Amino acid sequence: MEQRPVYIMKITALIGILCAIAAAVIEFYPTHSSVQWVPYEMAFQRAKVEHKLVYVDVYAEWCAPCKRMDRITFANDTVIAALTEGVIATRVNGDDPNLGAKMKNEFNVTAMPTSLLFRSENAELKRHVGFMDAAAFMDWIADTSLSEFVHWDEFNEARVKAQNTKKTLIILALHDSLKVMEMQRAFQNKNVKQIIKRNFVPVLLINTITDHQKVIAQYTLLPSFDFVGYLYTFTPSMELIRAIPLRNWDASRTQSLVESLSAPQ
Amino acid sequence: MKIYSILFKAEFKRFWSTGMLMLTVPLTLISLVTLGSVQTGNIKELSIFIDSADIVVIFLSFIIFTAGIVGADVKSGWLRTLLIRSVTREQYVITKILVVFISILIVFLISFSVDLLVISFNSKMVLTYDIAQTAVVFLLKVMHLLLMVIISALVSCVIPGSFNGYFVLAWYSFSQAIGFIVMRNYWDMKWAVVLQDYLFPGGFDDAKNAIMMQQAFPAAELLWGIAALMISFAWTLYSVNSIVVDTGSE
């Protein structure tokens, strides 16, 4: 009689079922982060008063990487501190018919989780799509070079400041936000910062941001797509002094460039 | 264990017939060319290089080596012969899976090693070696391959002839295509996203991707992978036990 032992079959099936249950528990168990999320509408008001950036986490209850971020990233003490003290943190459920739709339609959010950093409403600074662990998240949010552009003025404020101080406006205009990080590296040099602070009122304009688009269209900036962007200098009354197209930007050239721009024409 | 050793040798000898060897030589050459063409791309990290070898392992070795993995033995009477000689069905199927799995691994390792040697002598190509990541990626890839072989054996118990390999491959490709479409066009549809995750047991593959993207430890993905491996193995044992073979003594 042929033997048909079934114990291996039963044991492996049991191990398999137990593993599946454990995996399902990890994946579907409701998570909660320890971050104190501020309601979306309130976040931008608070950010204006407190002069802080707004961090927006676009997530969904059914999104596995979002849950992993809750479990790992937003449970990390350093991340919690950064999101509590450094920025105003808010989150938007992608399934929300109002805010979720707003994120998709106005901010072109095409996947979850998406992390967005705003200077003010409609003024997106940068974004990251996908999971980030605590270290990657801290690198992303605490990027020191980011402070360069954070402290640059919005266009209207910059114009007023330039008129009052009789300084030249220096406008960095980019087609999209993809090159922002590269440009930040170019402008974080200590000497470059000093030259800009001494001689210019700096402005960053990104053509994918609604408010910026109007300014770019009004002054016919970014005439060609052949370049990543342009660096302009304007008088306080908005008369063009110089326009420099930017392509394959070499950060080491920034200092000589801003020096030349600051020299009397 | 002795019976496993004898059975393994016998199965290995049967598997590596002259015909299979003749098929494997061009297969290895194709693998070499494929890997060679992959390495001309912008691959700088060894683990990514191993990962790109999917094309070779899955699309070429898999179809040839797993074709009729159980079904052919039932048809040819080999299973009957073994059962008459007091070999249990479990011993048969475990050995069979191991032989096919090791054979695919051998072809992959030969192609991979030769190609790596070519790269090392090519002064223009520099691969960086993150040993830990490479080892983990390789291990997860091997586990995924083992899972595929077990699933193919399971399908072979049900589908006659050599179509099991094609079936698994079509199933895998279908799930990949659906996954791509969902993530591209329906990424915000809850059920589409959740369901596409379970179209094919890809726990080890997902865990490998998470590690390659430097994400956190993929515990859930690994557990799904182990669960799929164990359940499909148990199911394969059940299916092999259910095959009706006239051994004369049953």
- In terms of domains, do A176 and A210 share one? yes
- In terms of domains, do A115 and A171 share one? no
Instruction: Tell whether A134 is covered by a domain.
Output: yes
> Which of A1, A4, A17 would you mutate first to test chain B, the one with the most B CBs within 10 A?
A4
Lowest mean pLDDT, pick from A158-167, B39-48, B213-222, B234-243: B39-48
- Output the pLDDT for position A182: 66
- In terms of domains, do A157 and A124 share one? no
Among the three residues A89, A117, A142, which one is the final residue of a domain in this structure? A142
Which chain A residues are within 8 Å of B238, Cβ to Cβ?
Answer: 9
- In terms of domains, do A94 and A159 share one? no
Q: How far is residue B154's CA from residue B162's CA, in Å, rounded to a whole number?
A: 13
Task: Identify which has the larger pLDDT, B245 or B225.
Answer: B225
Residue B194 at interface with chain A, using a CB cutoff of 8 Å: yes
State pLDDT tens for residues A65-115: 888 888 888 888 778 877 887 789 999 999 888 999 889 888 888 888 999
Q: Do A62 and B226 touch (CB under 8 A)?
A: no
- Does A222 score more than 90 pLDDT? no
Q: Do B88 and A95 touch (CB under 8 A)?
A: no
DSSP secondary structure of A151-166: TSBPHHHHHHHHHHHT
Which chain B residues are within 8 Å of A96, Cβ to Cβ?
Answer: none
- In terms of domains, do A47 and A138 share one? yes
Q: Do A2 and B193 touch (CB under 8 A)?
A: no
Q: Which among B230, B247, B249 has CB closest to A15?
A: B230
- In terms of domains, do A138 and A169 share one? no
- In terms of domains, do A112 and A194 share one? no
Instruction: Tell whether A124 is covered by a domain.
Output: yes
Residue A135 at interface with chain B, using a CB cutoff of 8 Å: no
State pLDDT tens for residues A238-258: 999 999 888 777 777 888 888
Q: How far is residue A101's CA from residue A90's CA, in Å, rounded to a whole number?
A: 16
Lowest mean pLDDT, pick from A128-142, A169-183, B73-87, B100-114: A169-183
State pLDDT tens for residues B54-102: 566 566 677 788 888 898 888 888 888 888 888 888 899 999 999 999 9
- In terms of domains, do A57 and A77 share one? yes
State pLDDT tens for residues B192-231: 888 888 888 988 988 888 887 766 688 888 999 999 999 9
Q: Which among A2, A12, A136 has CB closest to B249?
A: A2
Which chain B residues are within 8 Å of A103, Cβ to Cβ?
Answer: none
Which chain B residues are within 8 Å of A13, Cβ to Cβ?
Answer: 230-231, 234-235
- Output the pLDDT for position B40: 52
Q: pTM of the predicted model, to two decimals?
A: 0.67
- The confidence band for A2, taking pLDDT boundaries of 50, 70 and 90, is very low
- In terms of domains, do A235 and A254 share one? yes
State both tokens at B78. 């080999």
- In terms of domains, do A165 and A97 share one? no
Per DSSP, the three-state class of A35 is coil
Instruction: Please give the residue range of the domain that contains residue A97.
Output: 40-142
Distance (Å) from the C-alpha of residue B26 to the closest C-alpha of chain A?
38
Instruction: Tell whether A203 is covered by a domain.
Output: yes
- In terms of domains, do A83 and A167 share one? no
Among the three residues A110, A142, A174, which one is the final residue of a domain in this structure? A142
Burial B149-185 (b: 16+ CB within 10 A, else e): bbbbbbbbbebeebebbbebbeebeebeebbeebeee
State both tokens at B155. 């399908």
State pLDDT tens for residues B89-148: 889 999 999 999 998 888 878 777 777 777 677 656 666 677 888 889 889 988 998 998
Biggest alpha carbon–alpha carbon distance for chain B = 66
Instruction: Tell whether A202 is covered by a domain.
Output: yes
Count of structural domains within chain A: 2
Instruction: Tell whether A11 is covered by a domain.
Output: no
User: Between A and B, how many CB-CB pairs are < 8 A?
Assistant: 96
Instruction: Tell whether A9 is covered by a domain.
Output: no
Instruction: Tell whether A31 is covered by a domain.
Output: no
Among the three residues A125, A142, A159, which one is the final residue of a domain in this structure? A142
- Output the pLDDT for position B43: 55
Instruction: Tell whether A226 is covered by a domain.
Output: yes
- In terms of domains, do A114 and A198 share one? no
- CATH number for A166: 3.40.30.10
Nearest-Å Rg of the Cα atoms of chain A is 24
